[in-house]
Structure 1
Amino acid sequence: MRSYKLDKDALVRRNQMLTAAFHQRPLQHMVRHYMLRSMSKFPYTPLPKPMNRILFIKPDHIGDMLLATPAIRAVKQADTATEIHVLAGPWAANILANYKEIDRVLTINFPGFDRNEEKTSMLAPYQYLIHVSRNLRRLNYSAAIILRPDHWWGAMLAHASGIRRRIGYNVKDVSPFLSESIPLQNEHVIQQNMRLVDTWADSAAPMDIHYTFEPSDEDRDYAASYLQHVGISKKRLLCVHPGSGSWTKLWEDEKWAAVADTLTEQFDFAVIFTGTMAEQSTVTSIKSHMRYPAFSAAGDLSLGQLAALYQHASAVLGADSGPMHLAAAVDAPTVSLFGPADPVEFKPWGDSDRQMVLTSHIGCRPCRILDWGDDPPEYHPCVRNIPVSDVLDAARRVMR
């Protein structure tokens, strides 16, 4: 699509109009709404004698899954006899292996959440739901908690599985399938999730919420040997995670290079860029703009090893992404660059002086739109407008 240069005010007005249009329900969603209302009245047979076993349904990726763990752990800690299961996508299941409070992790390919998903028929999600519900019935759950506010498919799955207590948010298309619902509030998702489980766990003040991730001893040993292998085990470490699941969240390579060079020059850091295998080209590009040497661990580390590496860092800088939540969970200081997502809901959890968030001042953020299709990226500069000087100032403030 061809782009035209717009002044700042015109760009904000344009994006606000497009955002309003994007959040309007299209005709197919309106049709689905009426269909779901009818399906919610279908009399699925409830489980006759459920066990003391709770199913948490969470289709999201790593960062959102980490933010769900305080609520999951709180239920187990309130009653250790309660069996805790989590239904997750294979893209996030591995992160749960380190939590002893979770008794079992079940994985399914949630429709609409696989980033490499191929288009299928309109009936495929419903056919898959019936298949999964038959398997879940055998596990005889006493309750299901749908952690994602708009996840109507998960709420419908709990209903079709005969689970008597189905708890989630009072959101259109979701609430008809629930036995209990709570209002969705504009607050951090960890606090939202804690409200979902207050039947089992007492309400906790933010300072009393336990948000942690414990790497295994093997992961810690690997991280230590990795630093020794590349010859920087005795240097101060700066980690940078420039990638994210959406181009709308990305900062320019040249700016990351400038930040890494400046902090290396001022503090004699060893800089390690982290990322997935697919983000190796981004890291290579950033390094090509740098004056000082840097290291790349992109594609080299498991999630546990990455967490253990972050424990060595004086600071972790990066785009709004799952690894930034992982860094906060191991108590590493972070600076996260936010654009379309709302940091009130999704910022890394912790003291704001230690887990800092930066945004630009453009008037159309947060739009909460992560995929603008073929709309030109220059029309969505919410992250790119963050100055290098702001990132440097924040990094100096959080460094340990």
Structure 2
Amino acid sequence: MKDLDLNEHQLAELGARNRALAEKRHAPRPSERLRDALLRLIAQLPTWQACRADPKTILLIRPDHIGDAVLTMPAIRMLRTLQPEARLIALCGAWSAEVFAAYAEVDQVLTLPFPAFARGASKGAVWSPYVQAWRSARQLRRVEAGAAIIFRPDHWWGALLARWAGIPKRVGYALPNVAPFLTHAVPYREAHCVLENAALIASWLGKPIPQQLSAPFPFTEEDTAYVHSLLGEDSAHYAVIHVGAGSPYKTWQAEHWAYVADQLVEKLGVAIALTGSEREHAAAAAISAHMRRAAPYSLLGETNLSQLAALYAGARVVLGADSGPLHIAVSVDAPSVQLFGPADPQRFGPWGDSARHLVLTAEIACRPCRILDWRGDDAANHPCLSLIRPESVLAAALRVARR
């Protein structure tokens, strides 16, 4: 997205316009009202009850992507501490399975192609989510879980799945479409999602939330050695830029990243490493093309998540837009700078020392709109990332790197 040259009045008008559009998009559509009515009817129907259920087996339902999974782990670690004999099974999408599999607190990982969470997948017929829930529930009965925790507050599908699977105890938030399928509905109070996740467990078990909630992403000495093999002599002094994000409206201009990278090379004497997925090579190439200093290490697709955690843990600073890998960086306490646009940093910002993990946002009235897909509208009308100045990002990076 290119820089916009807007005066204060134009920026205010654009913010008001976008805020009005966002309110319309967040308003329930006719199809959603029909779905709500159908869910109310389903909730009144009798359902299959488990004839066998192991009270020590707890199903942890988290449909979202890498960042949400990372931010759920402090609560799961809390649960493991409170229930050391429990069998904890994560039920997630294939896209976040590697996160849960990395932690010893999780005994088993099961995956489902959760409706509405598989990026790029077609929506299918209107009845598809219900058919899928019924079929998946029949398979899930074999787990014989005694309890299920639906971590995402509005995840009616996960709550319905747990009920149809006959799981006797179902914990989640008391939102209208979710509560009818729960046995323990917790009043919802918006907070940072780490606290939201922990609050479910605290309410269910009648225990306080511990003052320290953390779950550093696990990595080994072998992972660190692998990072050193990638960076060679530069493995002692490097900074990382994560080039990707889960939405094009979370990405920042390549020339801005290149400016920041060049300045970090000059002012800190570091090498630059770029991370991202295999799909983001074009973004990394654009950054490299704009750089005037030494060519960066392009590590896109070269690491698994534990190796990525080891890479971040050794960095002077890790920079990027709001994304799952940046939450991994924060979890291992790598100094970080995160750029936030449409998402709300109050709920999804870094969970760590605020002096060590900085958030930058643009001053525009529509932020955070919480909308990650503005198809049908010109992307230039949504400059919440492009308005962030590279000088501000550089200053933040130097600040945390020099602490």
Q: Deviations over 1:135-189 (max 9, x none)?
A: 1112211111101111111010001011111111111211111111122222110
TM-superposed CA distance for 1:25, in Å, is: 0.3
After superposition, the CA RMSD in angstroms is 1.7
How do residues 122-141 of structure 1 correspond to structure 2 at under 5 angstroms?
122-141=126-145
Q: Deviations over 1:272-299 (max 9, x none)?
A: 0111111111010011111012221112
Q: Is the 8 A contact 2:72 2:197 kept in 1?
A: yes
Q: Deviations over 1:97-148 (max 9, x none)?
A: 2211111110111111111212322222211111111111122111111011
Aligned-residue identity in percent: 42
1:266 alignment counterpart: 267
| Aligned equivalents of 2:401, 2:208: Cα separation in 1 | 32
Q: Is the 8 A contact 1:54 1:82 kept in 2?
A: yes
State whether structure 2 residue 206 is matched by structure 1 residue 204.
no
How do residues 228-247 of structure 1 correspond to structure 2 at under 5 angstroms?
228=232, 231-234=233-236, 236-247=237-248
2:280 alignment counterpart: 279
1:36 alignment counterpart: 39
CA spacing shift, 1:205–1:80, aligned 2, 3 Å: closer
2:220 alignment counterpart: 216
Moved over 4 A (4+): none
Q: Deviations over 1:173-222 (max 9, x none)?
A: 1111111112222211000000000133732355x112311113332221
Higher helix share: 2
Q: TM-score, normalised by structure 2?
A: 0.94
| Aligned equivalents of 2:217, 2:276: Cα separation in 1 | 19
| Aligned equivalents of 2:263, 2:99: Cα separation in 1 | 33
TM-superposed CA distance for 1:80, in Å, is: 1.3
Task: After superposing the two structures, state which structure 1 stretch, 341-350 or 216-225, moved more.
Answer: 216-225
How do residues 111-126 of structure 1 correspond to structure 2 at under 5 angstroms?
111-126=115-130
Q: Which runs of 5+ in 1 are unaligned?
A: none
How do residues 1-400 of structure 1 correspond to structure 2 at under 5 angstroms?
7-51=10-54, 52-198=56-202, 199-200=204-205, 202-206=207-211, 208-228=212-232, 231-234=233-236, 236-293=237-294, 294-399=296-401
Task: After superposing the two structures, state which structure 1 stretch, 260-269 or 218-227, moved more.
Answer: 218-227
| Aligned equivalents of 2:224, 2:13: Cα separation in 1 | 51
| Aligned equivalents of 1:221, 1:181: Cα separation in 2 | 46
Q: Which runs of 5+ in 2 are unaligned?
A: none
Q: Is the 8 A contact 1:353 1:398 kept in 2?
A: yes
TM-superposed CA distance for 1:353, in Å, is: 0.5
Q: Is the 8 A contact 1:263 1:269 kept in 2?
A: yes
Amino acid at match of 2:192: H
- Count matched residues: 394
Amino acid at match of 2:48: T
| Aligned equivalents of 1:67, 1:333: Cα separation in 2 | 17
Q: Deviations over 1:329-374 (max 9, x none)?
A: 1111110000111001001210101111111111111110011113
